[in-house]
A and B are shown apart, each in its own frame.
Chain A
């Protein structure tokens, strides 16, 4: 067996120096729920593991500019149990809750889910729909990027050698905003998305949609942001006609593969259905901000039963 070095630096600077100074492949170890399995299967053979869980800014959730900064090495269960975050971003929590078992969520991180670059990653469409950005650190300085610009293909990212995603920034939410994530899987737990859809929208006080983001997982080589699907909602009251246009635009954006989990044709059709249902949940959640006497509330209640 090849020699495998392990380091657990306490500062970001030390972690970056280790990654840049390594001969051969150095891997960032966060939760390890993907990496350790890939190593045992011989798919990756790092000579150095840099454990980033002892670096405080990578493992904390803090308020920032009315939004949240989530460390890339925060385990999923900590995010799920963070009440303020869960109230603000229920769609991100929908997605995070679907990642593996409670045991896996106890270790797995949202940063790892992004950098593992699976097209079927559950948290990624929700983060893209939320408009989240990431901070990236490197020895030559830091940069910011949109979540949708990290994965470039299965297992491939736009990160340069030695760069680390350190945190996610979820922006301040305008009032009357809601988000949701849904996926299609043959069983309800412990499965991998055949199609995933994240929708985030904001209404004005008349119930007209003023902003929307739609993202689809497992229908292309990477998770997609679908502006055409969002455009179908903006300026409408998210009525049936708008939802039909959203579904059609979502299906049109898909370029999936055929595999054991779903055929190309099935994924294209189901992407529209999932996007529509996620939009209906996001709508109901955004309406819960409107006055209780408003007739829109009734629509919300009706739509919760979908």
Chain B
């Protein structure tokens, strides 16, 4: 069967790719487009390591088919820093040592940015609720939540 020809926008750039029906968006990002910042953890939507946004909506890219990306605008971790300048969330994750192995970090950063876009001043509980779909087996979450709250503070210029 012929592959699907898909056109989409990824991190602001127009892209086109070929994919089979069964290929997930995650597989397309990593294997077809070389965007390996987005990670595969569970492949069943439980761990959040593959988080991206599609038309601004936070999503597990393992639960989306590549072909479903037609005409969509996708944001991945590769689009988070502005050139060499880190996003405040990325900087705060380093300052707070909010990562150890780092495998969950791209997904958590994408999820946290999605939260702060909707709610610039979240409570700790709201941060924990929003990030409940992102598993981290290293940090115990505390430093992650601290980093997100601190980044939110800085982004509000307090």
Q: Which of A33-41, A169-177, A204-212 contacts B (4 or more CB under 8 A)?
A: A33-41
In the complex, B17 has a CB within 8 A of chain A: no
The answer on a CB contact under 8 Å between A6 and B48 is no
The answer on a CB contact under 8 Å between B63 and A107 is yes
In the complex, B31 has a CB within 8 A of chain A: no
> Which chain A residue shows the least CB distance to B43?
A40
Chain B residues within 8 Å of A190, by CB: 46, 132-133
Band of interface residues on A? 20 to 34
In the complex, B157 has a CB within 8 A of chain A: no
- Given contacts A32-B64, A37-B44, A37-B45, is CB(A103)–CB(B58) below 8 Å? yes
Query: A40 CA to B43 CA in the complex, in Å?
Result: 9
The answer on a CB contact under 8 Å between A103 and B51 is yes
The answer on a CB contact under 8 Å between A102 and B70 is no
Query: A77 CA to B57 CA in the complex, in Å?
Result: 9
Query: A107 CA to B54 CA in the complex, in Å?
Result: 10
Chain B residues within 8 Å of A1, by CB: 22
Query: A103 CA to B49 CA in the complex, in Å?
Result: 11
- Shortest beta-carbon distance from A63 to chain B in Å: 23
In the complex, B124 has a CB within 8 A of chain A: no
Chain B residues within 8 Å of A36, by CB: 24, 63-65
Query: A101 CA to B133 CA in the complex, in Å?
Result: 5
Binary interface profile of A, 3-16, with partner B (CB < 8 Å = 1, else 0)?
11110100000000
For chain A residues 75-103, which have a beta carbon within 8 Å of chain B? 75, 77, 100-103
In the complex, B1 has a CB within 8 A of chain A: yes
> Which chain B residue shows the least CB distance to A97?
B129
Chain A residues within 8 Å of B21, by CB: 4-6, 49
The answer on a CB contact under 8 Å between A33 and B63 is yes
- Shortest beta-carbon distance from B106 to chain A in Å: 13
> Which chain B residue shows the least CB distance to A4?
B21
For chain B residues 52-94, which have a beta carbon within 8 Å of chain A? 54, 57-60, 63-65, 67-68, 70
Chain A residues within 8 Å of B134, by CB: 101
Question: Which of A32, A36, A39 has the most CB atoms of chain B within a 10 A radius of its CB?
Answer: A36
Query: A54 CA to B69 CA in the complex, in Å?
Result: 12
Query: A6 CA to B20 CA in the complex, in Å?
Result: 9
Band of interface residues on B? 20 to 34
Q: Is the interface of B mostly helix, strand, loop or mixed?
A: mixed
In the complex, A57 has a CB within 8 A of chain B: no
In the complex, B142 has a CB within 8 A of chain A: no
For chain A residues 96-135, which have a beta carbon within 8 Å of chain B? 100-104, 106-107
The answer on a CB contact under 8 Å between B24 and A104 is no
The answer on a CB contact under 8 Å between B132 and A189 is yes
Chain A residues within 8 Å of B54, by CB: 106
For chain B residues 13-61, which have a beta carbon within 8 Å of chain A? 20-22, 24, 43-46, 48, 51, 54, 57-60
> Which chain A residue shows the least CB distance to B51?
A103
The answer on a CB contact under 8 Å between A106 and B68 is no
The answer on a CB contact under 8 Å between B45 and A106 is no
- Shortest beta-carbon distance from A173 to chain B in Å: 27
- Shortest beta-carbon distance from A73 to chain B in Å: 12
For chain A residues 48-65, which have a beta carbon within 8 Å of chain B? 49, 51, 53
Report which of A8, A103, A189 forms a contact with B59, defined as CB distance below 8 A.
Answer: A103
- Shortest beta-carbon distance from A129 to chain B in Å: 24
Chain B residues within 8 Å of A106, by CB: 54, 57-59
Query: A296 CA to B65 CA in the complex, in Å?
Result: 52
The answer on a CB contact under 8 Å between A102 and B64 is no
The answer on a CB contact under 8 Å between B65 and A32 is yes
In the complex, B111 has a CB within 8 A of chain A: yes
Question: Which of A3, A6, A40, A103 has the most CB atoms of chain B within a 10 A radius of its CB?
Answer: A103
9 further A-B pairs in the complex, CB-CB below 8 A; given A37-B63, A102-B58, A189-B133: A1-B22, A4-B22, A5-B1, A6-B21, A49-B21, A101-B132, A103-B51, A106-B54, A107-B63
Q: List the interface of chain B (C-beta within 8 A of A).
A: 1, 4, 20-22, 24, 43-46, 48, 51, 54, 57-60, 63-65, 67-68, 70, 111, 114, 129-130, 132-134
Lowest 5 CB-CB distances: which A-B pairs, in order?
A101-B133, A189-B132, A4-B21, A6-B21, A106-B57
Q: List 12 A-B contacts (CB under 8 A).
A: A6-B67, A31-B63, A36-B63, A36-B65, A49-B21, A49-B65, A100-B133, A102-B130, A102-B132, A106-B58, A107-B60, A189-B129
